[in-house]
Amino acid sequence: MRLIFLGPPGAGKGTQAARVSERWGIPQLSTGDMLRAAVAAGTPVGREAKAIMDSGALVPDAVVVGIVADRIEEPDAKGGFILDGFPRTVAQADALDAMLASKGMGLDTVVEFVVDEAILVERIATRARETEARGEPVRKDDNPEVFKTRLEAYRQQTAPLSAHYAGKGMLDRVDGMQPIDAVTEQLVALLTKYQG
C-alpha cells in the first residue's frame, strides 16, 4: 500500500502512521522526522533546515522532495509506505506524482485527518507537557506560538491538497477528533479495501 496521511500538525497522523506501519509492515516516512535526524546529524541539509524548522515555516520543496526520492528507493519501502508530513504543497504533490510515475508506481489513497483546529493548540500544549514529564526535550516548534505559525503554514500551503486529491478521486477522510483507538479502527476498516 502506498499512502499519504494529510492533516494539520497535531492531528495524530504520526501516531496513526506508526500503528498502520506496524500492522501492514510498511515504513512510515515522516519528512519531519527525517529532517530532525538531518539536523541532529549536522548534515548540509540539516544545517539548511534548522532555522526554518525552528520558526515553523516550510523547508524548500527541493530539499524535501530529494529526501523522499532517496528514501523511497530503500528496500523496506518496496512493499509500500506511508508518507506522513509530505507532500506539504501542491508543488510537492506534483513532484511526488512525477517521481512515482518515473518508477512505475502510483498511490493507493490519501487519508485526510479531519480535526477541530481550535482544539489542536490544546493538544500540542499537552504533548509538550507529556514530553517534558518523560524527561525528554520538547520540540522547539511545539511551543504554542510556533505551533500557530505551523498551523497557518498548513492552512495556506497544505490544506489545498485536500481539494487537489479529492479532484483526482483519491481522498478518504477519518475523524481525527475521536479517541486514538477509535481513529485506528476507522483507519484500519478504510485501508483494508486497499490491501493487496
Least distance CB 26 / ligand AMP (angstroms): 18
On whether the CB atoms of residues 82 and 28 are closer than 8 A, the answer is yes
Rounded to whole angstroms, the Cα distance separating 187 from 4 reads: 12
CA proximity to 2, closest of 131, 74, 105? 105
For 56-139, strand residue ranges (E) read: 81-84, 109-114
Residue 151, CA distances (Å) to 100, 101, 162, 175 in order: 28, 31, 15, 18
- Set 2, 71, 123, 150: catalytic member: 150
CB closer to ligand AMP out of 108 and 142: 142
Task: Please identify the residue of the shown chain whose CB is closest to the bound ligand AMP.
Answer: 32
Least distance CB 143 / ligand AMP (angstroms): 12
On whether the CB atoms of residues 67 and 35 are closer than 8 A, the answer is yes
- Set 19, 36, 127, 148: catalytic member: 127
Beta bridge partners of 28: 82
CB closer to ligand AMP out of 95 and 171: 95
CB closer to ligand AMP out of 52 and 177: 52
Active site residue 13: yes
Least distance CB 189 / ligand AMP (angstroms): 25
- Set 2, 50, 71, 88: catalytic member: 88
Least distance CB 166 / ligand AMP (angstroms): 20
Residues marked as catalytic:
13, 88, 127, 139, 150
